[in-house]
Structure formats: structure tokens, C-alpha cells
Amino acid sequence: MPNKLTRLILGLLLAVVAGPGLSACKILPTPSAQGGDSANSSAFSPDKKVEEIWATKVIPYLQQKAGPFAEVHALAQTDPAGAGAKYGNPKKQANSSWTFAVRVEGKIVAANTQSRAATVDVDVDGDGKADARVQIGPAMRGTALRDSLDFVQFNDFTNQIDFAQFGKAFNAHADKTVLSKLPRDTLEGRAAKVLGAYTIESGQDLPLVTPAEAEIGPKP
């Protein structure tokens, strides 16, 4: 009796250990249930989605959340998480940098329109020195607008590609509707008024602000 039982248990154990070999015959569910996900990925239209939420959700959110640049930046230096909770998306991805909604108002003290990633440097405190660098397109860096929004989460997207293209769609929309209409010549000395967002990055000369709304005043 013990022998039989032992043999039975031994047999069962062998079956478990030999599992890899046996399971080759196991019928596995086909991954067809996931087919919908990949299909969605190609159907996702980031430009259209941004267009839908821009005026109804994005601009109101930025208007409500943004702080004056000097204030936001001062808090960002001492308490980035606190600044993130107040001016940005507290539910951001784990190791990503904080992004803040911000208003930049001041005087343009320098401009780089040679690059396609054109920028203007703005002095907000009147000391004659640039405090923030504002992107005026057409090429733009980063995904600050997307990352400042607390209602946009990576987990709501099928994959990185959709998430990234959604990020770029914000920049493209800002360029198309706002930045492409800005003047490009003799920008120095003019007033600038911007509503946008920026991300803290190491090795930056100046905080790089991506506008959602921007105005440049007349020549002085």
C-alpha cells in the first residue's frame, strides 16, 4: 500500500516537473482577444482628439492651474513635488520630471529664429536678464503641454506610440492655431504674454516653455 501510494505521488511529481514537455500538447487560447487593441492603435487619431479637447478642457485647465512664472519657478526649485501638485499633474509617471502650467509675461530680450525650433527668451522680472525660453515653433521639443494635464494618463493609452503621438499633437495644434501666426522679425524688445507649460530638466540653460496661447506685442 505505501509503495503504491508513493509510486502514485512520485508519478504526479514527475508529471509536474516534466510539465514543460507535456504542455506542448496543451491547447492554448489564441490571442485574438487582443486583436482589438492593436486595431485601436492604428485607429487612434491624436490630432483629432487634441482638437476635441483643446478649447473645452485644455485651455480652461491651463488657465485655472497656471501660476505666474516667477512664483512657479521659485516653488519648483525648493519643493518640486509641491509645485507639481499645485501647478501640474501629481499623477505623473514614476521617474519623470515635474511639469507645471505657467504664465509668462515680460519683455523679449533675445530671439533665435534661425533654428526651426525657434525660441524667444523672456525677462519676467525686469532685470534685463532672460528668465524663461519660450518655444515658438514650427519644430518644438518635449511634451510639456500633455504632461501638465492631470486628466491625461499613460495607462489610458494602448502603448507608448499612441501616448507620444498624443503629446506631439498638442505641440502641432499650438503651432497651427497660435504660434504660426506670431511675428518672426525684430522680436527683441517686444512684450510677450504666454500661457503654457514647462518641464524641469537637468542641463537646461533656461526653463523651456511650450505655449498653448501666446501674444507678442508691437515693435517698441
Partner 1 sequence: MKLTRRMTLAAFAGVLALGTAMPAYAADLIAIITPSHDNPFFKAEAVGAEAKAKELGYDTLVMVHDDDANKQSELIDTAIGRGAKAIILDNAGADATVAAVQKAKDAGVPSFMIDREINATGVAVAQIVSNNYQGAQLGAQEFVTLMGEKGNYVELVGKESDTNAGIRSKGYHDVIDDYPDLKKVAQQSANWSQTEAYSKMESILQANPDIKGVISGNDTMAMGAYAALAAAGRKDVIVVGFDGSNDVRDSITSGGIKATVLQPAYAQAQMAVEQASEFIKNKKSPEKEKQLMDCVLINADNAPKLETFALKN
Cα 200 to chain centroid distance, Å, stands at: 12
Any contact of residue 56 with partner 1 (CB under 8 A)?
A: no
Residue among 105, 139, 134 at smallest CA distance from 119: 134
Any contact of residue 218 with partner 1 (CB under 8 A)?
A: no
Stretch that binds partner 1, among 23-31, 176-184, 190-198, 209-217 (CB under 8 A): 23-31
Alpha-carbon gap, residue 116 to 124, rounded angstroms: 24
- Residue 205 to residues 19, 84, 125, Cα–Cα distance (Å): 59, 21, 17
Alpha-carbon gap, residue 43 to 120, rounded angstroms: 37
Stretch that binds partner 1, among 4-12, 69-77, 100-108, 178-186 (CB under 8 A): 4-12
Any contact of residue 81 with partner 1 (CB under 8 A)?
A: no
Q: Are the C-beta atoms of 168 and 143 separated by less than 8 Å?
A: yes
Nearer to partner 1, 36 or 68 (CB): 36
- Residue 156 to residues 45, 46, 163, 211, Cα–Cα distance (Å): 14, 13, 9, 24
The secondary structure element, H or E, covering residue 49 is helix 46-53
Nearer to partner 1, 143 or 148 (CB): 143
- Enumerate residues 6+ apart whose C-beta is below 8 A from 182: 136, 214, 216
Among 158, 177, 206, 215, binds partner 1 (CB under 8 A): 158
Nearer to partner 1, 87 or 163 (CB): 163
Q: Are the C-beta atoms of 119 and 137 separated by less than 8 Å?
A: no
Nearer to partner 1, 25 or 127 (CB): 25
- Rounded to the nearest 10 degrees, the angle between the axes of helix 46-53 and helix 160-177 is 60
Among 106, 142, 196, 207, binds partner 1 (CB under 8 A): 142
Q: How far is the CB of 188 from partner 1 (least distance, A)?
A: 22
Q: How far is the CB of 26 from partner 1 (least distance, A)?
A: 8
**Site map 91..130 versus partner 1, x via CB under 8 A:** --xxxxx-----------------xxx-------------
Q: How far is the CB of 65 from partner 1 (least distance, A)?
A: 22
Prior bond to 2 cis, omega within 30? no
Any contact of residue 31 with partner 1 (CB under 8 A)?
A: yes
- Give residues in contact with partner 1 (CB under 8 A): 1-3, 5-6, 9-10, 13-14, 16-20, 23-24, 28-31, 33-34, 37-38, 41, 93-97, 115-117, 138-139, 141-143, 154-155, 158-161, 163-165, 168, 203
